[in-house]
Structure 1
Amino acid sequence: MSDVSGFLIPAGFRFAAVKAGLKASGRTDFSVIVAESATGEAVSAAALFTANKVTAAPLTVDKAHLRATGGKVRVVAINAGNANCAAGQAGLDAAYATCAAAATEFGCMPEEVFPSSTGVIGVPLPAHKLIAALPAIKAELGAESDHFQQVARAILTTDLVEKTAFARVMVDGREVRIAGVGKGSGMIHPRLVPHATMLMYLLTDAEIEPEVLQTMLNAAVEVSFNRISVDGDTSTNDTVLLLASGQSGVRIEAGNADFQATLTQVATSLARQVVADGEGVTHVVELRIRGAKSDADAVVVAKSIAHSPLVKTAWAGADPNWGRLMAAIGYSGAQIAPEQIDIWFGELRICRDGGRAAEYDEAAAHAYLEQAEFSITIDLRQGTGQCVFWTTDLTTGYVNINTAYST
């Protein structure tokens, strides 16, 4: 497997974006990904959605469509500027109407259309604007990198930068490509089942059955998108969709470790890009929890730390107040023995056996936390459980953004 710095688009996908008039800025806000198998049919699909019980209308439609088709998608229709959430029956009607119109435009069944929305919650979605834009978006379709980039730009809300990732893996001497595009900046604490909004679209030209695809997506998401948090809020619209066109002619069976690792690599890259672009973020923090009773306990500790306003504001000021970490560990609910906890800031030993380390250097610790990115390692010494988790500080910039932007 390998990272790819440039665009490497899998075969079987076309892209376009237009201005439908949903964003107050007047920027592009409606995009599509059209997927096609080697026979011109819908492609294998797998998806995970938010665990929030208040769920946006497009997610309800997506789940119904995936059940109806047995995990097949032909068109992904994504609008920004309106979340189509908390809009009652009108929201569902808008999503279904958009799917019906897209199906007519692109020559597929309505059930093969996968709608996604991001933006303001509680405002009716003007589906007529999306429907009116469909002929223009069809005319713009293309498979080149600039078309892919159009989607990356059109789905942004409070994001400052576009988020893309690419990789390739050799299977039986033949190349398989994986590409990812997504958005997410605020309202980021994905809890995707099983197990503003994050939308992620992963594309591959491998041939994979939907059941296998779902298993692989579950595994990749668990150690990537489910391991990040900006503000602890779980969006109503969080979606991760994985499509496999099969146009490389390379069939991937269950348990293919190389493909799984490459898929996870792409997902992790996108997840970290979301954290780095968090609203008002000045520090990105990698938490390395080890020695937990179980992996699940390690995640519990990481989330407790990542969601603590006291911890996050200390990071914003590069304050090496490790006592706040201890407090967050203590109330996390994980099994701990306080007198056995060890903490490092990077390579700097901060805490030993639950107390201040003899070699603790406050000035050095402060200097280390002034970096834009840093790591904190915590050893609970309770077992073999571990996890890596990415999070951020909490700044006045975050407050300013979210007092001026309706979510």
Structure 2
Amino acid sequence: MKSDDGWLVALWLLISIVIGWLSYVNPTHFVSPDSTYYLSFAGLLVGLDGDQYGHVSAGWEGTFPLGYPLLVGTLAKGTGTSLLVASKLLNILLTGVFLFIWRQRIGARRAVWVGSVLLLGGFLRLLIYTWSEWAFLILLLEWVWFISQAEPTASTPASRFRYVAYLLLLTVGLFLLRYVGGYVVGVYGLLALGTYRRVGWEMGRQRIWPDLAYGLVSVAFMIGYFYLNSLLTPSAYGGDRFYETAETMGDKLYLIAVALINELLLLRDYIPGEPVLLVLIGIILQLGLVRWIWPGLKQQRATLPDWGERERSVWRVLLLSAGTYLAILFIMRLFSPFNGPNARLMAPVMFPLLVLAAFWISRWNNMLARRQLGRWWAVLLLCSWLQLLPQADLWEKLQHILSR
């Protein structure tokens, strides 16, 4: 095994051990209220007992789509483990798949940099919890990569059919993991309109039929799924999600502003109403680390070759995807009183952008500079594990210890 492959395997083993150990020692095994819905529905789908985790599925569940529960249930059935253990194993396996895909795409050394983003405390939390977000993020990156590299105007009808079929498969998978995954159809539509303007409408007609087929079939599938929900449950989308509350427009804008600020806080999120000592420690550490890292980033940027057209295409698609998702998320929050946009909901924005940043850094040819940055990056990753500490008023605890 090459040394770079060894580092990649070591990274996967480290992430796997962290997921397993923290899941074991945590009193709730990182099962949130949403997790109980996933596990209960998973048990219903594959004939296992999923009602032991806090929620009881009396029949079809429409609160969340069936993609993630089906994956968990299938793995539990195939391995003979409990649904809870299977949910942790699934995230471990998906991490291995993610690292392998990027190894095949850019090589083992560069894949280590991309995969190291998963060691940030905020993303480790997504991996440890029984949530659908990690599977969703992997598929979202595949969707972005595919449409930024493939071309729908292939020369033969068979190749155009394969293009649309694979694109549909990715889109349906995203929707079945999270309802909001359907937003990618809108992103694709915006990209298509931009292409038509750039190449001219006459040339654009060559790709309009694949585009229309993709959009119409995707929307038809989503409408059909919501209709199935309405037949089997009291609601098309899992309950009453849109209703009036006492929140003012100022309250909603405040939650949105906090969400945006938190995306810059890699070491510890700020949660309104919770103790802020860890947040302050995280800000101080992050500013100090950035102060040391930034000169090296500026120096190496001048030595790197320009982005190729394919890399610029990935960048454009990622930015449009992140912007569209943010717009939809914030518009929905104005009308639907779900939890304020948090790290979990914002992950489809921040994770792909951080992956792209790691992708850029991995291009560095200067081994010494890369190693120096790697050391500082490792320190930052370790400090980001502040995200995994429980919410507690540490200042009050310190005062109590000192007084004794």
Q: Which TM bucket (shorter chain)?
A: under 0.3
TM-score w.r.t. structure 2 length? Answer: 0.26
Name which structure has the greater RCO, CA cutoff 8 Å, separation 6+: 2
Question: Normalized per residue, which structure has more helix?
Answer: 2
Q: TM-score, normalised by structure 1?
A: 0.26
Higher strand share: 1
